[in-house]
């Protein structure tokens, strides 16, 4: 199936965002790129430097594509931090347009968060400093300039941010980067005939979709894995596409972490849905599976996302039965709802509580350190409505209930993005450790840029 993304053809697909990627027609596979770890500066007054820059990347056979990247042509390095450390990062804008550096999922003060209030002009740089206070998790960073987030992410600005801590060290989980612990950044893109990423041509106000899948920036990827247990850190970095991942054999795998940290125990899953910005760490045991020769990560329509090739390596990690001590307390459960947010609309008619984003309007306030319960609803649209992945900056929250019921086991962990199907009602317990103005928004990036975003001031 070939989607003409600029024509009416794609319209029905845009509505539900579950239209399958076309099956790949390529003959060859490319070894999955594994982004370099960002090296710590050994001299100077900052620990790390991150530069948003323009690049040229060989993505398609024989064609270069004009791209954006951090410290390179396309995408970014992985920034590995430890709980308890203080980090100084020099952020540099080498683009021809404003950008920001947003740390998605990180507990940081509002002026470090990199929302639309903190633009860097072309040629500008800024040193930011923050303490890493939260537990081990897989987070990510991307730009957030006013009205331009979707286009800049589309062109390639995105990177992963890992946090490690003493507890995660003690668990003996697979953690040899690029050996038995892999980033898996899923993004779909549409290329023009000349091999370019033309955002305007691909644009859809309900979320720009592509007909080619890039994993860590690799088209038609294949991942070589050792025998034994392998950890994949799945990140949905797409503007709008949802993925429901499964193993082609139908075997189950273990989910061990959510957006913001480890689950209490591994959760066996047959399929796992990730909406834009959501993350999940999963463990696949390549010793326990049959037919590993033909094994792939697929989406629920059968499209191959990532084929595996098992190599001669051996990995001997064990997955402990107890991973964390996450809990929604009785007190949190009994708190009254103090904030209600209603997500509504499609295309550029998207709103939160009937309003569109206004940078000069603070929509809500909350006291620093105080836990409140918010109720999120996705008001069905006469036309059916669609899934909105709802994200809040500057903190991680707990899902108390979904439509009045206990959330699924794999939602019982820290989250910063939660998917709401049309008609869904989700209660969350949330507190902020830091002060500042933070965004909350739908993470379909075109919805965000179209104003499905609000601001909370934490004081």
Task: Please report whether residue 160 would count as binding Cu ion according to CB under 5 A.
Answer: no
Per-residue interface string for the shown chain with Cu ion, residues 70-109, x marking contact by CB under 5 A: ----------------------------------x-----
Task: Please report whether residue 444 would count as binding Cu ion according to CB under 5 A.
Answer: yes
Minimum Å distance from CB 165 to Cu ion?
A: 21
Evaluate whether 409 touches 429 at the Cβ level (below 8 Å).
no
Q: Which residue's beta carbon is nearest to the bound Cu ion? A: 442
Cβ burial 307-335 (10 Å sphere, 16+ → b, else e): bbebeeeebebebeeebbebebeeebeee
Candidates 171-179, 227-235, 370-378, 438-446; binding stretch for ligand C2O (CB under 6 A): 438-446
Q: What are the C-alpha distances in Å from 306 to residues 184, 232, 303, 387, 418?
A: 9, 11, 9, 25, 25
**Of 391 and 412, which CB lies nearer to ligand C2O in the complex structure?**
391
Per-residue interface string for the shown chain with ligand C2O, residues 142-181, x marking contact by CB under 6 A: x-x-------------------------------------
**Of 157 and 277, which CB lies nearer to ligand C2O in the complex structure?**
277
> Which secondary-structure segment (H or E) carries 164?
strand 159-164
The closest alpha carbon to 187, from 94, 67, 64, belongs to 67
Task: Please report whether residue 447 would count as binding ligand C2O according to CB under 6 A.
Answer: no
Question: Token pair 């795998």 is at which residue?
Answer: 253
271 token code pair: 């399929």
**Of 14 and 102, which CB lies nearer to ligand C2O in the complex structure?**
102
Site for ligand C2O in 92-151 (CB under 6 A): 102, 104, 142, 144
Candidates 250-258, 287-295, 419-427, 436-444; binding stretch for Cu ion (CB under 5 A): 436-444
Among 226, 447, 453, 454, binds Cu ion (CB under 5 A): 447
The CA distance from 448 to 356, in Å, is: 10
What's the sign of the alpha-carbon dihedral 209, 215, 218, 219? negative
Q: Which residues contact 53 (CB under 8 A, 6 or more apart)?
A: 68, 69, 70, 71, 72, 94, 95
Strand partners, 397: 415
Among 5, 305, 399, 439, binds ligand C2O (CB under 6 A): 439
Minimum Å distance from CB 119 to ligand C2O?
A: 14
Minimum Å distance from CB 251 to Cu ion?
A: 33
């Amino acid at each position: 199936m070939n989607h003409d993304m600029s024509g009416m053809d794609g319209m029905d697909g845009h509505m539900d965002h579950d239209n399958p990627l076309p099956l790949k027609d390529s003959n060859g596979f490319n070894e999955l790129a594994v982004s370099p770890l960002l090296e710590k500066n050994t001299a100077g007054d900052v620990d790390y430097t991150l530069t948003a820059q323009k690049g040229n990347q060989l993505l398609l056979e024989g064609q270069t594509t004009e791209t954006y990247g951090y410290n390179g042509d396309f995408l970014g390095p992985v920034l590995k931090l430890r709980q308890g450390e203080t980090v100084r990062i020099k952020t540099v804008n080498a683009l021809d347009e404003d950008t920001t550096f947003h740390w998605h999922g990180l507990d940081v003060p509002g002026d470090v968060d990199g929302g639309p209030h903190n633009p860097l002009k072309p040629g500008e740089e800024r040193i930011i400093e923050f303490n890493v206070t939260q537990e081990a998790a897989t987070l990510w960073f991307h730009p957030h300039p006013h009205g331009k987030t979707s286009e800049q992410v589309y062109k390639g600005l995105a990177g992963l941010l890992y946090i490690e801590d003493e507890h995660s060290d003690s668990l003996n989980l697979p953690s040899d980067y690029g050996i038995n612990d892999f980033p898996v950044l899923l993004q779909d893109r549409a290329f023009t005939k000349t091999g370019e990423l033309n955002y305007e041509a691909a644009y859809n106000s309900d979320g720009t979709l592509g007909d080619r899948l890039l994993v860590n920036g690799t088209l038609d990827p294949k991942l070589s894995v050792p025998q034994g247990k392998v950890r994949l850190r799945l990140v949905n970095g797409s503007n709008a596409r949802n993925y429901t991942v499964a193993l082609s054999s139908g075997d189950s795998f273990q989910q061990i972490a959510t957006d913001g940290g480890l689950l209490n125990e591994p959760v066996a899953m047959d399929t796992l849905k990730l909406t834009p910005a959501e993350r999940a760490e999963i463990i696949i045991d390549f010793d326990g599976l049959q037919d590993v020769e033909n094994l792939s990560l697929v989406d629920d329509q059968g499209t191959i996302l990532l084929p595996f090739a098992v190599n001669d390596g051996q990995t001997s990690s064990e997955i402990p039965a107890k991973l964390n001590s996450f809990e929604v307390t009785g007190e949190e459960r009994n708190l009254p709802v103090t904030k209600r947010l209603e997500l509504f609309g499609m295309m550029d008619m998207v709103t939160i509580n009937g309003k569109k984003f206004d940078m000069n309007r603070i929509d809500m306030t909350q006291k620093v350190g105080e836990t409140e319960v918010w109720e999120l609803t996705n008001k069905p649209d006469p036309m059916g409505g669609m899934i909105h992945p709802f994200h809040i900056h500057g903190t991680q929250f707990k899902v108390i209930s979904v439509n009045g019921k206990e959330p699924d086991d794999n939602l019982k962990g820290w989250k910063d993005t939660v998917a709401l199907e049309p008609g869904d009602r989700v209660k969350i317990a949330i507190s902020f450790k830091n002060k500042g103005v933070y965004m909350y928004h739908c993470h379909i990036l075109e919805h965000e840029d179209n104003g499905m975003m609000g601001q909370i001031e934490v004081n």
